[in-house]
């Protein structure tokens, strides 16, 4: 568990945050540029001193009214926006720099970092022999090689073009799946957020406007992310079967089963699905003469207006929340009210990992 | 060819330049580092004082040093009261004068090199568990390598070439405080052009070789850096 209450004043800007993050999994700090994300991350690492605050990571207190543990004594791994490798050292030298300075035998963690980021073949290269994407992979491995209690990443993909992003994202997925330490990931990208986040901290102009589990946060109507064209729901599912005849695969989630195009993922592998609110339509009766495969029985949980002609509906498919954006007229025709049983037809699903 | 005093002038010059450069690096490195990091408002005053020997006539600097370090000056009097003797007209006096005179040639390249590194590599090192002192030696010093080369060569060469300050504070005592540049002057005064040629030619070659070294080292270094981008 990470407890964080910090106040930092920089000129006119005031960062004043108070939130908790779970001890495991990815916490995304999401906000537009200038909202204080990077300052927050730097403060967590001890690179930014706050006037006032309390910071506890696991069992150790890094900052309270009396003490401030300096950056080099905090067990963090930090990945900066640009790779910032040391140019006077080669890849091995960069990785060993931190590993040599950690008390425990850093060797094992380095080995693991090498495998996770797949950089064994780059070890003897100088930093100028690396591509931008490779540099960032080495920087991530370097941060992991110190066996940190927490990994902090400051928009690690923002300096990369789309192709490089795609090159790095699978490695971030494997961090997500395999790390047993918390990862705090700062970004302004909704795509990276929905792909990686387990927990979300929404930051706006220096304050936290909301914080919680990602699936709850995305469907909370008091937050701006649950409105507009980007409104989506996330569903965790696992592969339970393949249909070779139609090249489809079956994914179980706690509310039922999805049928999607086969990606040849092994059975039991976990996948995250993203469903856009605009791709969910509602019917009163179960439609049978339709091309849509994914239809679930759902209960209306809450309805809020969305602009002048539309409404945003939060549905419950058993315990899973899902958003549906439909016209106000349809809502009236269907006589939608909280508690009403409907069928949700899902036109398209994006597989995130 | 060269007489006994010329040889001793050569050794005194090389010894003076080596000792001064060493002291300058030891003093100049922390000073330059501090100047590159501090946000102290009055830092420009200190920078101007350090740069003063660049514009000040060497004889003016030498004159004040003589006044301060001589037996009647504040520092000289203090030394004598502790049972020592004035360091004016001694090798130590030469070293003190040279260190002050060559200070900007060492501090400025180092300060520029340290400033050029920026905060980021040091922050990265901190997140990799390096203490501030460790960061300095493992990151700042190697990254400021070209600054150290420039500072060393310029500090050394400038000390070899100084005239006014050493004449004032050292008094041109052959075998004790007479350095090459003054020996050349003496030979010319005595119309001994042959000996003057030997010494002058030697210094010319030495200076050229040292500058070449700076350019070769820094070129190689800057190429390595730029291909990083």
User: What are B126-177's pLDDT values in tens digits?
Assistant: 999 999 999 999 999 999 998 999 999 999 999 998 898 999 998 888 888 8
Structural domain count, chain A: 2
Contact A88 B134 (CB under 8 A): no
pLDDT at B69 over 60: yes
Query: Model pTM?
Result: 0.85
Residue of A nearest to B127 (CA): A72
Contact B126 A142 (CB under 8 A): no
Name the pLDDT band for B222 (thresholds 50, 70, 90): low
Average pLDDT over chain B, rounded to an integer: 89
Q: Are residues A185 and A269 in the same domain?
A: no
Name the pLDDT band for A340 (thresholds 50, 70, 90): very high
* Rounded Cα–Cα distance for residues B3 and A311 (Å): 103
Q: Are residues A197 and A241 in the same domain?
A: no
Of A292-301, A343-352, B204-213, which range is least confident?
Answer: B204-213
Residue of B nearest to A129 (CA): B228
CATH of residue A183: 3.40.50.300
Q: What is the pLDDT, as a whole number, of residue A150?
A: 94
Q: Are residues A213 and A237 in the same domain?
A: no
Report the gap between the CA of B208 and the closest CA in chain A (Å): 29
Residues in CB range of B208: below 8 A, 6 or more apart: none
Chain A segment 223-262 residues within 8 A of B by beta carbon are none
Long-range contacts of A219-224 (CB under 8 A, 24+ apart): A219/A314, A219/A321, A219/A322, A219/A323, A221/A302, A221/A304, A221/A312, A221/A314
Q: What is the pLDDT, as a whole number, of residue B52?
A: 93
Contacts of A97 in chain B (CB under 8 A): 125, 128, 130, 138
pLDDT at B50 over 70: yes
Helix (H, G, I), strand (E, B) or coil at A124: coil
- Give B190-211 pLDDT, tens digit per residue: 999 999 999 999 899 988 998 8
Contact B228 A127 (CB under 8 A): yes
Contacts of B139 in chain A (CB under 8 A): 86
Report the gap between the CA of B123 and the closest CA in chain A (Å): 7
pLDDT at B224 over 60: no
Contact A47 B131 (CB under 8 A): no
Contacts of A45 in chain B (CB under 8 A): 127
Closest CA to A94 of A131, A71, A122, A75: A122
Touching check for A68 and chain B: CB below 8 Å? Answer: no
Of A183-197, A217-231, B214-228, which range is least confident?
Answer: B214-228
* Contact assessment for residue B112 and residue B150, using Cβ atoms and an 8 Å cutoff: no
Residue of B nearest to A76 (CA): B127
* Contact assessment for residue A97 and residue A124, using Cβ atoms and an 8 Å cutoff: no
How, if at all, do strands A76-79 and A60-63 pair?
A: unpaired
Residue of B nearest to A152 (CA): B127
Residues in CB range of B31: below 8 A, 6 or more apart: B50, B107
Touching check for A102 and chain B: CB below 8 Å? Answer: yes
Average the pLDDT over A144-166 and give the result. Answer: 90
pLDDT at A117 over 50: yes
In the structure encoding, which two tokens stand for residue B169, read together? 């504070």
Average the pLDDT over A48-67 and give the result. Answer: 88
User: Could you tell me how many residues make up chain B?
Assistant: 229
Q: Are residues A181 and A238 in the same domain?
A: no
Ordered structural domains, chain B, with CATH: 4-224 (1.10.3720.10)
Determine the Cα angle at A148 with ends A5 and A82, to 5°. Answer: 85
Closest CA to B120 of B112, B108, B128: B128
Q: What is the pLDDT, as a whole number, of residue B221?
A: 58
* Rounded Cα–Cα distance for residues B81 and A232 (Å): 85
In the structure encoding, which two tokens stand for residue A285, read together? 């009766």
Q: What is the pLDDT, as a whole number, of residue B229?
A: 34
Q: Does residue A107 or residue A259 have the better pLDDT?
A: A259
Contact A88 B126 (CB under 8 A): no
Touching check for B50 and chain A: CB below 8 Å? Answer: no
In the structure encoding, which two tokens stand for residue B44, read together? 């420009």
Percent of chain A scoring above 90 in pLDDT: 69
* Rounded Cα–Cα distance for residues A241 and A243 (Å): 7
Average the pLDDT over A145-164 and give the result. Answer: 90
Touching check for B225 and chain A: CB below 8 Å? Answer: yes
pLDDT at B71 over 90: no
Contacts across the A-B interface (CB distance below 8 Å): 63
Q: Residue B202: beta bridge partners?
A: none
Contact A97 B125 (CB under 8 A): yes
Contacts of A80 in chain B (CB under 8 A): 120, 123-124
CATH of residue A250: 2.40.50.100
Region class of A253: left (phi > 0), else alpha (psi between -120 and 50), else beta? beta
Contact A86 B131 (CB under 8 A): no
Q: Does residue A66 or residue B47 have the better pLDDT?
A: B47
Touching check for B228 and chain A: CB below 8 Å? Answer: yes
- Give A303-326 pLDDT, tens digit per residue: 999 989 999 999 999 999 999 999
Show which of A175, A205, A225 is a domain's final residue. A225
Where are the alpha helices (H) located in A179-250, listed in sequence order?
190-196, 214-218
Q: Are residues A292 and A160 in the same domain?
A: no
Contact A128 B124 (CB under 8 A): no
- Give A69-116 pLDDT, tens digit per residue: 999 999 999 999 887 899 999 999 999 999 888 866 556 788 888 988
Q: Are residues A194 and A290 in the same domain?
A: no
| Beta strand residue intervals within chain A, DSSP E | 2-10, 13-21, 26-30, 52-57, 60-63, 76-79, 150-154, 183-187, 199-204, 207-213, 232-243, 248-253, 256-261, 270-276, 280-283, 294-306, 310-317, 320-327, 341-346, 350-351
Q: What is the pLDDT, as a whole number, of residue B228?
A: 39
Closest CA to B106 of B179, B67, B54: B54
Report the gap between the CA of A86 and the closest CA in chain B (Å): 7
The alpha carbon of residue A122 and the mean position of all alpha carbons in its chain are separated, in whole angstroms, by 28
Q: Are residues A285 and A219 in the same domain?
A: no
Contact B225 A71 (CB under 8 A): no
Touching check for B141 and chain A: CB below 8 Å? Answer: no
Contact B129 A101 (CB under 8 A): yes
Q: What is the pLDDT, as a whole number, of residue A166?
A: 87
Percent composition of chain B: helix, strand, coil (DSSP 3-state, to 5) = 80, 0, 20
Helix (H, G, I), strand (E, B) or coil at A187: strand
Q: Are residues A293 and A236 in the same domain?
A: yes
Touching check for B116 and chain A: CB below 8 Å? Answer: no
Cα–Cα distances in angstroms (integers) from residue B137 to residues A84, A136, B70, B125, B144, in the given order = 18, 25, 39, 11, 10
Instruction: Choose the closest CB to B142 out of A72, A88, A101.
Output: A88
Q: Give the other-Cβ count within 10 Å of B24's Cβ.
A: 27
**Residue span of the structural domain in which A32 resides:** 2-225
Q: Are residues A18 and A163 in the same domain?
A: yes
Show which of A225, A245, A268 is a domain's final residue. A225
The dihedrals phi and psi of A19, each to the nearest 5 degrees, come to -155, 165
Residue of A nearest to B128 (CA): A98
pLDDT at B85 over 90: no
Q: Are residues A213 and A241 in the same domain?
A: no
Of A69-83, A133-147, B18-32, B208-222, which range is least confident?
Answer: B208-222
Q: Are residues A278 and A188 in the same domain?
A: no
Closest CA to A69 of A77, A78, A81, A60: A60
pLDDT at A342 over 50: yes
Report the gap between the CA of B115 and the closest CA in chain A (Å): 16
Closest CA to A4 of A24, A25, A22, A31: A22
Q: Are residues A193 and A251 in the same domain?
A: no
Instruction: Choose the closest CB to B128 out of A73, A88, A97.
Output: A97
Average the pLDDT over A5-34 and give the result. Answer: 91
Show which of A225, A251, A266 is a domain's final residue. A225
Contacts of A47 in chain B (CB under 8 A): 123, 126-127
Report the gap between the CA of B112 and the closest CA in chain A (Å): 18
Touching check for A87 and chain B: CB below 8 Å? Answer: yes
Chain A segment 177-216 residues within 8 A of B by beta carbon are none
Average pLDDT over chain A, rounded to an integer: 91
Touching check for A143 and chain B: CB below 8 Å? Answer: yes
* Rounded Cα–Cα distance for residues B15 and B106 (Å): 18
Q: What is the pLDDT, as a whole number, of residue A106?
A: 55
Q: What is the pLDDT, as a whole number, of residue B84?
A: 75
Report the gap between the CA of B132 and the closest CA in chain A (Å): 8
Percent of chain B scoring above 70 in pLDDT: 95
Q: What is the pLDDT, as a whole number, of residue B227?
A: 40
Q: Does residue A162 or residue B106 have the better pLDDT?
A: B106
Contact A87 B123 (CB under 8 A): no
């Amino acid at each position: 568990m990470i407890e964080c209450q910090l106040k930092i004043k920089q000129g006119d800007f005031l960062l004043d945050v108070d939130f908790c993050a779970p001890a495991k999994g990815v916490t995304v700090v999401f906000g537009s540029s200038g909202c204080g994300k990077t300052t927050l991350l730097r403060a967590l690492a001890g690179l930014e001193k706050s006037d006032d605050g309390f910071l506890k990571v696991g069992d150790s207190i890094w900052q309270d009214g009396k003490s401030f543990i300096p950056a080099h004594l905090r067990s963090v791994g930090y990945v900066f926006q640009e790779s910032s490798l040391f140019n006077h050292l080669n890849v091995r030298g960069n990785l060993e720099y931190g590993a040599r300075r950690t008390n425990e035998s850093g060797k094992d963690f380095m080995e693991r970092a090498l495998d996770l980021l797949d950089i064994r073949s780059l070890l003897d290269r100088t930093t100028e022999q690396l591509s931008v994407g490779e540099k960032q992979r080495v920087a991530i491995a370097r941060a992991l090689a110190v066996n940190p209690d927490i990994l902090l990443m400051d928009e690690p993909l923002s300096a990369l073009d789309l192709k490089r992003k795609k090159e790095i994202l699978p490695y971030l997925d494997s961090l997500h799946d395999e790390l047993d330490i918390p990862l705090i990931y700062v970004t302004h990208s909704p795509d990276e957020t929905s792909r990686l986040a387990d927990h979300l901290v929404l930051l706006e102009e220096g304050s936290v406007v909301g914080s919680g589990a990602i699936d709850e946060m995305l469907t909370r109507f008091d937050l701006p992310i649950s409105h507009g064209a980007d409104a989506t729901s996330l569903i965790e599912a696992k592969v339970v079967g393949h249909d070779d005849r139609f090249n489809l695969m079956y994914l179980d989630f706690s509310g039922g089963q999805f049928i999607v195009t086969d990606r040849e993922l092994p059975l039991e592998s976990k996948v995250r699905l993203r469903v856009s609110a605009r791709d969910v339509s509602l019917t009163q009766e179960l439609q049978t003469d339709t091309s849509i495969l994914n239809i679930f029985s759902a209960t209306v949980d809450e309805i809020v207006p969305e602009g002048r002609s539309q409404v945003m509906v939060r549905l419950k498919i058993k315990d899973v929340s899902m958003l549906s954006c439909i016209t106000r007229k349809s809502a009236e025709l269907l006589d939608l009210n909280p508690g009403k049983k409907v069928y949700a037809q899902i036109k398209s699903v994006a597989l995130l990992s | 060819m060269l007489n006994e005093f010329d040889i001793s002038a050569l050794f005194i010059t090389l010894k003076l330049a080596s000792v001064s450069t060493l002291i300058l690096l030891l003093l100049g490195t922390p000073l330059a580092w501090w100047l590159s990091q501090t946000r102290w408002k009055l830092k420009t005053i200190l920078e101007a004082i350090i740069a003063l020997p660049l514009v000040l006539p060497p004889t003016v600097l030498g004159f004040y040093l003589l006044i301060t370090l001589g037996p009647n000056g504040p520092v000289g009097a203090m030394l004598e009261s502790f049972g020592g003797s004035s360091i004016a007209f001694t090798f130590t006096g030469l070293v003190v004068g040279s260190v002050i005179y060559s200070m900007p040639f060492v501090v400025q390249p180092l300060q520029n090199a340290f400033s050029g590194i920026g905060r980021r590599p040091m922050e990265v090192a901190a997140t990799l568990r390096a203490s501030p002192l460790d960061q300095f030696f493992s990151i700042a010093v190697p990254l400021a390598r070209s600054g150290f080369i420039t500072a060393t060569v310029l500090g050394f060469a400038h000390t070899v070439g100084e005239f006014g300050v050493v004449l004032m504070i050292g008094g041109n005592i052959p075998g004790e405080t007479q350095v090459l540049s003054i020996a050349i002057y003496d030979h010319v005064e005595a119309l001994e052009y042959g000996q003057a040629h030997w010494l002058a030619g030697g210094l010319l070659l030495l200076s050229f070789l040292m500058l070449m070294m700076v350019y070769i080292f820094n070129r190689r270094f800057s190429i390595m850096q730029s291909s990083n981008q």
